[in-house]
Amino acid sequence: MLLNEKRYGEHSWLIEYINRCKSGEIIIGHELMMELDRIILDFNDPLITVDLADAHKRIKFIETKCKHFEAPFAGKPFILELFQKAFIESIYIFKIYDDEVGRLVRLIQDVLFLVGRKNGKTPLVSAICLAEFFCGPMGIKILCSSNDYEQADLMFQAINAMREESKALEKVTRKNVKGIFFGNPKKPKSTGKFSYKNKGTIKKISAKTGAKEGRNIGVGAVDEVHEMKNNTSVMPIRQALSTQDEPLYFELTTEGVINDGYLDNRLKDGRQVLNGELDRPRWRIWLYTQDNEQEIWQKEETWVKSNPGLGTIKKWSFLRQMIEEAKTSKATRVFVLSKDFNIKQNNATAWLMAEDIENTETFDIEDFRNCFAIGAGDLSKTGDLCSARALLMKPRSDKKYFLQHYFIPESKLDNLNKEEERKYREWVREGLITLSEGNENDFRLVTQWFYSLFKNYGIRFFKTGFDKWSAIYWQKEMEEYGFDMKKVDQSWGSMSEPMKLLEADLKSKKAVYNNHPIDKSCLENTGMNVNSKEEMMPIKVQGKDENKIDGAVTMMICYRVYIDHKIEFLELVKRTA
């Protein structure tokens, strides 16, 4: 159904957008098409008044007063794309009579904006907030928020940068550490909207900021809600809007990897609204999503479904490069699918394919007599599996060879199910696991294993990495035996690089674990978590909480030490030639 804009007296960007989407000229996903169908119903609802004035006032303000502040568009006017103008109109043009207020008010109060990264979502909503600050009612208070202070600051700084780029806007406003305010101390005005009497403000808070209750705001904008685990961060903001006649609440985000998080619940409700299962007429649900994952790999032209700014704001070459990397890197694949194409990814998905893990190559420890090694220990909590490891290399080769051993309290075996107990007791009989008496691992046995490699084979440890939360006693004992101990923080920044390098080496069969069954099991149980910086973190595959990943963790600890001291270690390896 195509709409006729002549009945409204002037050009409507929203009607143009709807008509071009309906005709197939603009490609969008079915979820946005369902929202456009809801909007068509609003156009034809006799109880809803269509008034373009407020929307066009804000569009004009953005295009004439706001300028971009980041390369490659820095300093250029903020000329809105058609989809951005349509989005703004969809929020502002529909009015409904409110008996409590006694006048027409804006229909839309709640906005969910989901779009692929680098399509200008933060600058767009920042520009809308700045437009609302100047075009909205006197005394309006605007709040920018996100899961962390740094992300909340991105939106606030975007607003302030656009304010500073315009001499006209800067002349009547001021900024300090508390926020943005009306009134210029250099050229004060005694009366009017742009004087000190206007108590309007723009401020920022994060999920970690305390005392969020008690605020009274007119506009709230929350960025990157996909990182939020629950609604504790957003509910105080939404409640702070409750006193306003025409509140406006924005949630802008890409998809994420947090399971059962806040965004999951919002999207569940939003999709019920789109399907007609819930009635939320005041909620604008603007989702740029793909219809399925297969089209991403098979039909490049469909990428615009989740990236409406492709070709103007976001470069095709960038996205093509990301797709190529996603074909070979699991972390990149998870990141690209969630952030560029809004396809939800499990935050504990399997890290490796079976063919990546499979490696039947074996070696004899005698091949490394009198060599240098990097050590790693993952000392488990009471009653759990413990992993000890040595990484060795040969001159003129980039292969890494692993020697490994595992430790477990005897009482732990009694708590396993029959199948697991049978498997572990078989590993004990094969000499792959050493039992500790009672309920706790005896870390002295771990020390003895490391020392035995030196005593029996002359293997000298360059450095031995360990989790900083491991027992201080073990660290001191190892140092007494002459081992150079290095703490390895199991955090995003520390574990991501070694995890990626280990993945590449496993896939290319350059990480040789001697076909060790426990190593293989640990790699199979290892999932990966990917954050918004595309950093990786090992995690247990969802649904396998009882299984162990300790062996994979010590591999990564070895790789962390190797990366940090590569030149020194390889020099030592050359000496054994």
Task: List pLDDT tens digits, range 506-557.
Answer: 999 999 999 999 999 999 999 888 887 788 899 887 655 567 899 999 999 9
In one letter, which amino acid is 211?
A
Q: Which residues contact 75 (CB under 8 A, 6 or more apart)?
A: 67, 68, 69, 165
**pTM for the whole thing?**
0.76
Query: In the β-sheet with 349-350, what is the strand arrangement from edge to edge?
Result: 349-350, 526-530, 536-540
Q: What average pLDDT is seen over the chain?
A: 90
User: Which two three-digit tokens encode residue 196?
Assistant: 């000190």
Measure the CA–CA gap between 328 and 295, rounded to whole angstroms. 18
pLDDT at 213 (0 to 100) = 44
> Which residue has tokens 């990564």?
556
Task: Categorize the per-residue pLDDT at 214 as very low, low, confident or very high, splitting at 50, 70 and 90.
Answer: very low
pLDDT at 354 (0 to 100) = 87
List of domains in the chain: 5-339 (3.40.50.300), 354-575 (3.30.420.240)
> What is the chain's Cα-based Rg?
30
Lowest mean pLDDT among 239-253, 293-307, 521-535: 521-535
Checking if the pLDDT of 208 tops 60, the result is no
pLDDT one-digit tens code per residue, 482-499: 999 999 998 999 999 999
Checking if the pLDDT of 19 tops 90, the result is yes
Q: Which residue has the higher pLDDT, 73 or 211?
A: 73
User: In this structure, are residues 437 and 410 in contact, taking their beta carbons and an 8 Å threshold?
Assistant: yes
CA distances from 110 to 34, 220, 379 (A): 17, 10, 49
User: In this structure, are residues 55 and 128 in contact, taking their beta carbons and an 8 Å threshold?
Assistant: no
Measure the CA–CA gap between 369 and 520, rounded to whole angstroms. 25
pLDDT at 229 (0 to 100) = 85
Q: Which residue has the higher pLDDT, 374 or 533?
A: 374
What is the DSSP code string of 86-151? HHHHHHHSEEEEETTTTEEEES--EEEEE--TTSSHHHHHHHHHHHHHHHS-TT-EEEEEESSHHH
pLDDT-above-90 percentage for the chain: 68
pLDDT one-digit tens code per residue, 52-100: 999 999 999 999 999 888 777 778 899 999 999 999 999 999 999 999 9
- Give the per-residue SS3 of 207-226: CCCCCCCCCCCCEEEEECHH
pLDDT at 543 (0 to 100) = 57
pLDDT at 533 (0 to 100) = 79
Task: Categorize the per-residue pLDDT at 233 as very low, low, confident or very high, splitting at 50, 70 and 90.
Answer: confident
Measure the CA–CA gap between 51 and 57, rounded to whole angstroms. 11
Query: 332, 298, 299, 331: which is closest to 318 by C-alpha?
Result: 332
Sign of CA dihedral 535, 539, 543, 544: positive
Lowest mean pLDDT among 95-104, 255-264, 289-298: 255-264
Q: Which residue has the higher pLDDT, 179 or 193?
A: 179
Query: 127, 36, 50, 41: which is closest to 86 by C-alpha?
Result: 36
User: In this structure, are residues 163 and 130 in contact, taking their beta carbons and an 8 Å threshold?
Assistant: yes
User: Which two three-digit tokens encode residue 512?
Assistant: 């040789």
